[in-house]
Amino acid sequence: MLRFIIRRLLVILPMVLLVITIAYALIKLAPGNFYATERGLPEAVERNIRQKYGLDKSWYVQYGKTMWNIMRGDFGFSRKYQDQTVNEILWQAAPVSATLGLTAYLLALTLGLTFGTLAALRQNSALDYGSMAAAMLGISLPNFVLGPLLVLVFALTLFWLPPARWEWWVKIGSGGIPNPRFLLMPAVTLAALYTAYIARLTRSGMLEVLRKDYIRTARAKGLSERQVVIRHALRGGILPVVSFTGPALAFIVAGTVVVERVFAIPGLGNYFINAALNRDAPLLLGITAFVAILVLVFNLLVDIAYAFIDPRIRY
């Protein structure tokens, strides 16, 4: 296991550099630039701007300098937020996205595992059909529809919750404890899709495991149904959920663009959209690298969790 973990960790750096290289090429190929205006700039001003940021150099010189700085952990200054470095923006925005994403995923995991397990144990019952119908609705209803609907009902009609913004209840460094009133609607909006997927994966995994011979043996030994489900069936039934958790958790923590945009949350997703609109290459590369690292690390953690959940798996 240790050798497997070391090999995977050694792969992370070249994979992240490859992702950054692809992102760098796409940014360079995209039309427009960060200093473009509708009226256009005088040629001398444009020349000075390009010289200041090193854009007058050849592409391979720019690429080499960029990659060298990134390998030292320096993404440079943002083109839009010129008084802030990309590292500072990531330090400010990551706790917001992480808090929202982890809250949403814990909510999705709790509801999805519960309803998926109950649906599998009561197959072809009203509970099964109702749970899967709700899951299908959660998959079919996009975030940009569910979010405004929640705002319309709970903020603009009932006046129970604020319609947007983000506020820390207790500030600790760049993060803290979020105000539940500002957290609830974005977390529910973000959790709906993942709850639906987890419920369906749990149901299918549990149905497969409940037909296994060792489950019949456990029941034949006189174990209660609760012990059979929790101690034996659930460990094998949640393996599809564990596979789904790695990339899903990485993307949800990195920030969901639509949800953060709808609720005006200053997370990574919102910064990513602004960076794309403003052609802010350093910030785009910084967020891309951050997401790539999260995906690779969470996938590694999923593989490790597999070995602990299922003793038949060895690396």
Residue 111 pLDDT class (50, 70, 90 cuts): very high
Find the mean pLDDT for residues 187-201.
Answer: 91
Question: Does the structure show a pLDDT above 60 at 255?
Answer: no
pLDDT at 108: 92
Supply angle C-alpha 278, 280, 281, rounded to 5: 145
Mean pLDDT value of segment 111-136: 88
Between 49-53, 182-186, 273-277, the lowest mean confidence (pLDDT) is in: 49-53
What local confidence, expressed as pLDDT, does residue 38 receive? 62
- C-alpha distances in Å from residue 135, one per residue of 115, 199, 259, 277: 9, 7, 19, 34
What is residue 185's predicted lDDT score, i.e. its pLDDT?
93
Under a CB-based contact definition with an 8 Å cutoff, are residues 275 and 290 in contact?
A: no
What is the average per-residue pLDDT within 292-298?
84
Q: Report the pLDDT value the prediction gives residue 297, as an integer from 0 to 100.
A: 84
48-96 confidence digits (pLDDT tens) = 888 888 888 888 888 999 899 888 888 888 888 878 899 999 998 889 9
Predicted confidence (pLDDT) at residue 173 exceeds the cutoff of 90: no
| 172 three-class SS | strand
**pLDDT band for position 311 (cuts 50, 70, 90):** low
Q: Is pLDDT at 315 greater than 60 in this prediction?
A: no
Instruction: Please state which CATH class domain 90-309 belongs to.
Output: mainly alpha
CA angle 275, 277, 283 (to 5 degrees): 10
* 240 has a pLDDT exceeding 90: no
Given this model, what pLDDT does residue 309 score? 67
% residues pLDDT > 90 (the chain): 16
What DSSP character marks residue 179? P
Mean pLDDT of 117-127: 87
- Are the C-beta atoms of 267 and 93 separated by less than 8 Å? yes
Q: How sure is the predictor about 149, in pLDDT bands with cuts at 50, 70 and 90?
A: very high
Nearest in space to 81 (alpha carbons), one of 71, 63, 67, 93? 93
| 0.75 surpassed by pTM | yes
Which residues touch 306 (CB under 8 Å, ≥6 apart)?
Answer: 239, 242, 313
Provide the mean pLDDT of the chain. Answer: 84
Let me know: does 190 contact 143? Beta carbons within 8 Å. Answer: yes
Which position has the higher pLDDT, 108 or 226?
A: 108
CA 99 to chain centre: 11
Helix (H, G, I), strand (E, B) or coil at 177: strand
Confidence at 256, pLDDT banded by 50, 70, 90: confident
The domain ranges of the chain are 2-71, 90-309
Q: How far apart are CA 265 and CA 271, in angstroms?
A: 10
Average pLDDT over residues 115-129: 88
Contact 86, 76 (CB under 8 A): yes
